[in-house]
Structure 1
Amino acid sequence: MKVVGVGNLKGGVGKTTTSTSLAYLLGRYGKKVLMVDADAQGNASGTMGVYDPNEKGLAGILLEQQSTEETIRRTRYENVDIIPANMWLMQANAQLLYSMENQIDRIEKMLNDECINNKYDYVICDCGLLLDVTVLNVVKASDLLIIPVKAGGYGIDAVENMIEQTKGIHEGQQVKVLMTMKTGNITNKDTAQWLRDTYKDKMFKTEIRRSVVAEKAETAKRPLPEMSRGSNAAKDYNNVIREIMTDEEWNAAQAYIESKRRNKKTGRFQKVD
C-alpha cells in the first residue's frame, strides 16, 4: 500500500484537483484506492459525492470518537472509497493542538487498521493549506508527498516552505513537485525553468496544462478526468500516474483497461481481476 499526500501551503494551486484526479484514475486502472480528505473545507469529499456536514468523518477518527471502519464511505467511482471531512476537522485540530499526547501519528495508526491495511493499493490524502495537526499527520504517514505549484505567482515560495517545514517528519519520504496550470506564456516558461533548475529530480517530468475543464469540474463537483478524458489536463494526470506507478503496475493497469474494453465490446460485464 502506497500512501500519497498532496499538499502545499498555498491555496489555488490545484491540490484537490490533483488528489481527486489521481484517485479517480487509479480506480479506473483497477487499483483499490482510499482517499483521505484532510481539509476542513471538504472539497475532495464533495467531489467524490459524499460530503455530509453532520458526520464527523476524519475528525472523529483523530479524536478517537469513532472507528476507522465506520467512517469509510463508498464513493460513486470505481474502486474508490473515502474518509470524508468537513468543518468538524477545525475543532479536531484545535483540540489536538492543546493536547499533551502525541498527535501526529494518528493517521499513520489509522492506516494500520485491519479495515485499511492490505485492502487498498493506494491511499491519496488531500491536504488543506495550513500546516495544522491534520496535515502533519498526513506528512508523517505519506510515502510520497506531492507539492502542486501553479506556474507563476506566489505559490513557488510556498514550495520551499512546505519542504523545509516538513523535513524530517518522515525519514525516507519521497517529495515531488508538480507544476499545474501551465500555459505557453513567457512567465510560465520562466517559472518552469526556475523550478526545474531548483528542484531537479524532485520535479515530475509531467506538467499539468491549464484547462477550462478544471473550472467546470470544480463547479460540477466531479473529478477532472471524468469531465473530459480527452482534455489536455486529463492526459497530463494520466502521465503523472505513469510516473508514480512501477513498470509492473503500469502494465497490469493497461491490461485491466484492455480487458474491460473487450468485455464491454462483447457484452460481457464480468469482474476483471
Structure 2
Amino acid sequence: MLSPEIDLANLDARHWNNWWQLLVPPRMLAPQAWALAILDGGKVIKLVVTKRGAIDPQATPLPGLAERDLAAYAKSLGVAAVVAIERSVMGQLAADIESALRLDQDLVEQGLVALRALKRHAGKGVWTEPPLLELLPAPAYEPIQRTFDLLIPDRSALVAYVIEDDRQRIHSSIIAVKNDGDIVRASTHRAIVDLVPEASFARDWQKSTKRVAAAVEERFAKPSVALFLERATLMKILTGPSDQLPREVNAKTVIIDPAPAWLLGLLGG
C-alpha cells in the first residue's frame, strides 16, 4: 500500500503543513504534554513527562490502573495522556514486534504489526489514557490491500487539491502514484507548476481541473481519481452531516474528475 522506497519529490512544505492542519483534530494540533510510566509490579519506578524530563514518581503516586485511575493520574500530572507499561512486558513486546516484521512489508503493514502487538498487551502490561489501544481497530493487512487494489488501479495517479477560499493560491495538494499495489511516488503541485501556474489555476480552478489532470498524466500517470474543492467546503464536509459531500458535488463546489464508478455509486451519481 505504501512503498518503503517511496519517491518523495517536489514537496511543497506549505502544502504539507496545511494538510496536517486540515486533517488532524484541533485538540491534537495544540502542543500536549504526555507521561510515560515504567512499572514494576504495578508500582511506578520511572516517570518521564514531555518537556519536563524524568520526575520523582513518589511525588505523584499512581492510584491504580483502571481507566478512571489513569484519568485522575493524568490530571494530577497536568498531562493530556499517560502510557503505563510493565517493565517485564517491554522485552516481550519488542520480541513480538520483531518476530512479525519482514523486510518485504510496507510501512502500513509494519504499523499494523506494532499496533496488534500493543493491543495484545492492552490491560495486561500496557495501559493508556485515553484508552486508545482499546478503541483503535487493528485489522489484518491483506483485506485492506485487496480493497485498495480493487478501488485504485495500478499505474494510475490519485490527485487532491484544496484551494484557498479567496482563490489567490492553492492551499494544499497531493499527487500520488500507485504501482504494483503500492504508492510509489508522492509530490505536490510544485511538480507541475511550470505546466499549470498556481495563481491562474486557483483563480479559475473550477474550469481548470482538466489542465491539472493532463499535467499529472504527462509527468506522473493518468489520474484514476482527482478531487478539487475550496478550504471552506472541505471544512463543511468534515464537520457537516453525512450527506454533505454529495450535496457539494451536486452544487459543483466539489469537482471529482475523473471519478471511478465505485465513488459515483457511493455519491448516488
TM-score by length of 1: 0.30
Structure with the greater relative contact order (CA < 8 A, sep ≥ 6): 1 or 2? 1
